[in-house]
């Protein structure tokens, strides 16, 4: 019996026009990875951590407050032990620390230190500067539409893929 999965190829169940988008999504992924955007931004910002550790710091920044390891893992879409290793290394380097959860004295939250927050700010300013440069010639309307549609696409894709984790079947 053949494995179930989407058909691939021109016209193969493509009533939504996704096959025309796939090459552009692959091009975007390739440009970001080949261009080593994350690594170059960390280098330009003077941040010497690896990519997963930077993801932990950015997750904490975006959250706007301390998080449990499980919450960080969920935001990064990885397993908790992976985040625990990253947090331990970041803590050893003085970029994060653990604090007591005010809602549960037995639990610990992770928050950036002043040095960790400053490093994350430098990194994000670098990345946002580059992205701003890419969009500089776009009209305000085009930037707004792109941002709205990109957010919708990422939210819908994330929810759709979560169904794989929830029930182990194709969504």
Please give the Cα distance from 86 to 110 (Å, whole number).
11
Please give the Cα distance from 58 to 75 (Å, whole number).
10
**For residue 46, what pLDDT is reported?**
93
Structure tokens at 17: 């026009």
**For residue 167, what pLDDT is reported?**
62
**pLDDT by residue (tens digit) across 100-121?**
999 998 999 999 999 999 999 9
**pLDDT by residue (tens digit) across 120-157?**
999 999 999 999 999 999 999 999 999 999 999 989 98
Domains by residue range for the chain, with CATH: 35-135 (1.10.10.10)
**For residue 157, what pLDDT is reported?**
87
Number of H helices, E strands in the chain: 7, 2
42: closest CA among 53, 28, 30?
53
14: closest CA among 26, 3, 23, 1?
23
Q: Is the pTM of this model over 0.85?
A: no
Structure tokens at 133: 């440069």
Mean pLDDT (the chain, rounded): 87
Write the Ramachandran bin of 104: left for phi over 0, alpha for psi from -120 to 50, otherwise beta.
beta
**pLDDT by residue (tens digit) across 54-68?**
999 999 999 999 999
């Amino acid at each position: 019996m053949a494995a179930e999965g989407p058909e691939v190829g021109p016209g193969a169940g493509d009533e939504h026009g996704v096959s025309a988008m796939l090459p552009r999504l692959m091009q975007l992924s390739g440009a970001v990875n080949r261009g080593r955007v994350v690594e170059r931004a960390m280098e330009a910002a003077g941040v010497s951590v690896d990519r997963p550790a930077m993801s932990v710091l950015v997750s904490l920044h975006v959250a706007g407050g301390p998080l449990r390891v499980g919450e960080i893992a969920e935001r990064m879409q990885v397993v908790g032990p992976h985040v625990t290793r990253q947090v331990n290394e970041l803590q050893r380097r003085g970029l994060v620390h653990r604090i007591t959860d005010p809602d549960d004295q037995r639990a610990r939250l992770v928050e950036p230190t002043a040095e960790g927050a400053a490093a994350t700010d430098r990194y994000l300013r670098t990345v946002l500067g580059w992205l701003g440069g890419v969009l500089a010639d776009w009209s305000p309307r085009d930037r707004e539409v792109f941002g709205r549609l990109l957010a919708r696409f990422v939210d819908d894709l994330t929810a759709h893929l979560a169904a794989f984790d929830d029930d182990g079947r194709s969504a």
